[in-house]
Amino acid sequence: MGKTVMVTGASRGLGRSIAYELADAGYDLWLTYQSSDAKALEVKEEVESKGVKCRLMKFDICDREKCASVISEALQDETPWGLVNNAGITDDGLFIRMKADQFDRVVDTGLKGLFNVTQPIVSAMLKKKQGRVINMSSVVGIMGNPGQFNYAAAKAGMIGATKSLAKEVARRNILVNCIAPGYIATEMTEGLNVEAIAKSIPLQRLGDPKNIADMVQFLLGKGGDYITGQVISINGGLC
């Protein structure tokens, strides 16, 4: 295929599943992670076993200087076809008791991190007059959720950012979309009352990471070439 896709937060959860799916489809990968070298190397080995190239990029997406340094070095070699902004964190708590650092950490990761990664990549895409950007929001950014004021704010902000950027870069053949997953069975749902959650979902079950990865692949491919500025919900009918 010869196309490269950058996936942030790719050492676990949705990011890892997306990386595996894209490797199966023949995409070369740039995979970012923040801390676990062992998990990142495990993903790299699995990806490369599928016959594609994989570049690991270790940095905190909230650190603008480090982010710019690592990405600019990679851009000297090539411009990726796609960017999947998947990295995100939760730090839940009722609004009235939420600490300022809880809010800052979650919103900074979701929005400042989005800005830090996307700006240099899109700048390079503009010169090539092509590219796809996929931002991973959440059903929580659409419908809200008690105890997730910070997370909802970050994910709702991502939706607005997606729509704005899509309008700015469409004339250069760069498509920008947002996926809003519902409850997906990953590390982020471990420890939750899955049975109770499933009862609130019309399909009566959690989603599989592959449901999300398949949509990412679709949006990066030929089928997604007339879709931009959209929020695609994958949530089992939750909202």
What 3-state DSSP class applies to 73? helix
pLDDT in tens, 22-57: 999 999 999 999 988 999 999 999 999 999 999 999
Cα 128 from Cα 140, distance rounded (Å): 34
Cα 142 from Cα 20, distance rounded (Å): 28
Buried b (16+ CB within 10 A) or exposed e, 221-233: eeebeeebeebbb
151 is catalytic: yes
pLDDT at 17 over 80: yes
What band does 197 get if pLDDT is binned at 50, 70 and 90? confident
What band does 1 get if pLDDT is binned at 50, 70 and 90? low
Mean pLDDT of 175-181: 98
pLDDT at 192 over 80: no
What band does 195 get if pLDDT is binned at 50, 70 and 90? confident
Q: What pLDDT, on the 0 to 100 scale, is given for residue 133?
A: 98
- Looking at every residue in the chain, the average pLDDT score rounds to 95
Residue in 20, 27, 151, 183 annotated catalytic: 151
- Give the pTM: 0.95
Domain 4-233 has CATH 3.40.50.720: yes
Cα 61 from Cα 152, distance rounded (Å): 19
Q: What pLDDT, on the 0 to 100 scale, is given for residue 185?
A: 86
What band does 221 get if pLDDT is binned at 50, 70 and 90? very high
